[in-house]
Chains A and B, each alone.
Chain A
Amino acid sequence: MTRVTGTPTPTGAMPTYLGMPAFPDAARKAVANSQLRRNLTHATTAIRTKRAKAVAELDDWEALRQAGKAIKDHTLANLGTYLTRLEENVTKAGGHVHWARDAAEANAIVIELVKRSGARKVVKVKSMATQETGLNEALAEGGISAIETDLAELIVQLGDDLPSHILVPAIHRNRAEIGDLFRRTMPDAPADLTDDPPRLAGAARAHLRSEFLSAAVGICGANFAVADTGSLVVVESEGNGRMCLTLPKTLICVAGVEKVLPAWRDLEVFLALLPRSSTAERMNPYTTIWSGVTPGDGPESFHLVLLDNGRTATLADETGRQALRCIRCSACLNVCPVYERAGGHAYGSPYPGPIGAILSPQLRGVTSPADASLPFASSLCGACYEVCPVAINIPEALVYLRARSVESKKRYPERAVFKLSAYLLSDARRLAAAQRAVAASRHVAGRGGRIRRLPPPLSGWTDTRDAPAPPRESFRAWWARTRGSAPAAGRAGQPPGVGADAPAAGPASQSAPGVGSDATDAGTGAAG
């Protein structure tokens, strides 16, 4: 076996994939990749239609969604109570509970447990939490190889790639690319392996079989952890989860503290919400539920690592905390026009898409350019909120985080622009002088009356679009010239909305976004 294991990807504690540029730069490159766009459009279009159908089948979907939201909110509001209850019941059932403040601490606990078992190799169920902590890379540094067993994770691992979707980390690859990859990197791939998805799935089955049968340690995440019974729940499709949860002697589960649910009966809500939102099925093929250890059945030792890693900081923020309701279904990715075009890698985080844009900056709690740009990676169309099975108001959170991101900067061009406009707009003479000055600048415009490049900070506007050349004359000047009265007294004679349609209007005095249009010029000027 050559390349089964240990393909270290860039690392960090909840990695900002190192060297990742901020969203706009990453997205620009991704959008230029037409194969990527075709793959994403193909996959997300198919799943969108199917999800809508699966959801429409339950006429009480909205009530389920509101119950899911209410249960999660209640749990988050009483998180300490439910976590200690979970700990008590997992322990009673024969499991061991560990607490990890951050990624490094979680990884250290896992490495120590694996070493104690004597194993040098672990099999893994797809898990967002361990993706977040960069566990595979940490294990590799500790001399332990981690084998990803989920098909898409395997594709990512074999391709030395990064995940780009919560549910289907290799969504950016189509069958032909996956076929190539398998033929190239899988030593035991059949010589006549085609790109037919069932054949590719069959190759993965054969490839991983002996790993499952000989594995001593399994590592998983959790979809849900039930406080009153100490149950852990893993929802999956392929059976790789069942293999990892059942065959090894030692099982280690890394779960974010927000995964806890109060009671067994809450599963009736979440097992209805998750599969329909995620893979658009009435139920996913396999769900494993266990509590501690069962003598004679499955692992002999079970460890639960409860992970904070920025979650308690997120909890402290009343608007931001709703992101902790997320059950990682990825419905918001599949409907997002920005995700569909930019792809998951542009978000520079294990959590891409709309939910990633609000979760990553909060969990990481840093203001790297990548994180600061994420809340802006949205057109605020609201499709994500509509499909979210726990009703996370992602647009609301995005706008809120944008404000926070802007406020955290000491200096930013918008503030200067607004200060300047306030100064100019508060005095009619100043405004008229400024408008004459802007009109005089029209000769810098190129052919067609467009300005292609403005100096910084106005280049922020012309980087992505042309600016129209200012007109020869401002609306106010035109009004004064043709109607003969002073512009400052223009309020009475101005019919509503006339500014926008006036001959010389349009972009008139607009030298940068955010400086009011003519209509507001006139109004504010008169008021001043």
Chain B
Amino acid sequence: MSTARKEILARIAAATGPAAMPAEVDAAYAALPRGYRRAHHDPARTDIVALFAERAADYRAIVERVQPADLGGAVARVLAGVSRFVVPAGLPPAWLAELPAGAAERIVRDEPVLSARDLDKIFGVVTGCAAAIAETGTIILDHGAGQGRRALTLVPDFHLVVVLADQVAADIAGALARLDPARPHTFISGPSATSDIELIRVEGVHGPRNLHVLVAG
């Protein structure tokens, strides 16, 4: 298909004029007008963690703010009704420290790797996250330690996610700057939803229908 490549690039050159030197292109890019604000909230004046909690709850996620010391207890309480749940590698052990005796049987590990069908039989998953955005109430997973590969937080119907206060950025720009673009990312704003019937938002389609957020700190 290299002829197609050559021809499309030639058509582009004919339309825009010959390509500028990369350094010139980069200089023009750097000079683009960016009059917008990279943060809509000043962390010095706004409690951005509270803002995050409020906005995530707007999507009908269940959001609770807890003291870091109480996190283990809160996790145990939220998972009390969950028959079986996936625990990804690298989840801080302290988060599960207060699960009742015998809860170990309800924990499923992704070792050996679970098939999609296996995952479909498991109701829940508990993870951390990579960052969060206060302005939009968004949780960002980069699927690193304590978050698991993407399927783990997708197929089960219940997702418990722990957001640490220092992971919350005021706005989109601040959150993006914390991420490593080489990693895969999932941005989550509430439980799965659709606006496809009469443009009215309805929660609960293919992704987890239950999103529970514990904000620690």
Contacts and interface: CB of A to CB of B under 8 A. Distances in A.
B32 A239 contact: no
Contacts of B77: none
A208 B200 CA distance: 21
B197 interface: yes
Given A242-B154, A265-B173, A197 B207 contact: no
Interface residues of B, number: 77
Say what secondary structure dominates the interface of chain A: helix
A263 B28 CA distance: 13
A472 B154 CA distance: 78
B184 interface: yes
A284 B16 contact: no
A174 B198 CA distance: 6
B194 A237 contact: yes
A80 to B, nearest CB: 5
Contact of A178 (B35, B116, B117, B197): B197
Given A281-B189, A285-B193, A298-B149, A213 B120 contact: yes
A79 interface: yes
Interface stretch (B3-11, B42-50, B66-74, B90-98): B3-11
Interface in B27-58: 28-29, 32-38, 40, 55, 58
Contact of A238 (B13, B16, B135, B192): B192
B41 to A, nearest CB: 11
Contact of A288 (B16, B113, B186): B186
Contact of B12 (A47, A83, A287): A83
A316 B14 contact: yes
A357 interface: no
Contacts of B173: 265, 268
Contacts of A149: 206
B109 to A, nearest CB: 14
Nearest to A151: B196
Max chain A Cβ within 10 angstroms of own Cβ: one of B133, B191, B202: B202
Given A151-B196, A268-B172, A283-B187, A212 B182 contact: no
A46 interface: yes
Interface in A135-156: 149-152, 155
A174 B199 CA distance: 10
Interface stretch (B17-25, B78-86, B100-108, B160-168): B17-25
B131 to A, nearest CB: 13
Max chain A Cβ within 10 angstroms of own Cβ: one of B1, B20, B196, B202: B196
A78 B182 CA distance: 24
13 contacts: A43-B199, A46-B199, A46-B200, A67-B35, A78-B25, A80-B12, A80-B13, A82-B25, A105-B4, A243-B154, A246-B150, A288-B185, A316-B14
Interface of A: 39, 42-44, 46-47, 58, 60, 63-64, 66-67, 70-71, 74, 76-84, 93, 98-101, 105, 109, 149-152, 155, 167-168, 170-171, 174-175, 178, 197-198, 200-202, 204-205, 208-209, 212-214, 226, 229, 231, 237-240, 242-243, 246-247, 257, 262-265, 267-269, 271-272, 279, 281-291, 294, 296-298, 306, 308, 312-313, 315-316, 321
Interface of B: 1, 4-5, 7-9, 11-16, 19-20, 22, 25, 28-29, 32-38, 40, 55, 58-59, 113, 116-117, 120, 133, 135-138, 143, 149-151, 154-155, 171-173, 176-177, 181-208
Sort A-B residue pairs by CB-CB distance and give the 5 closest, nearest first: A239-B207, A63-B35, A239-B206, A312-B11, A316-B15
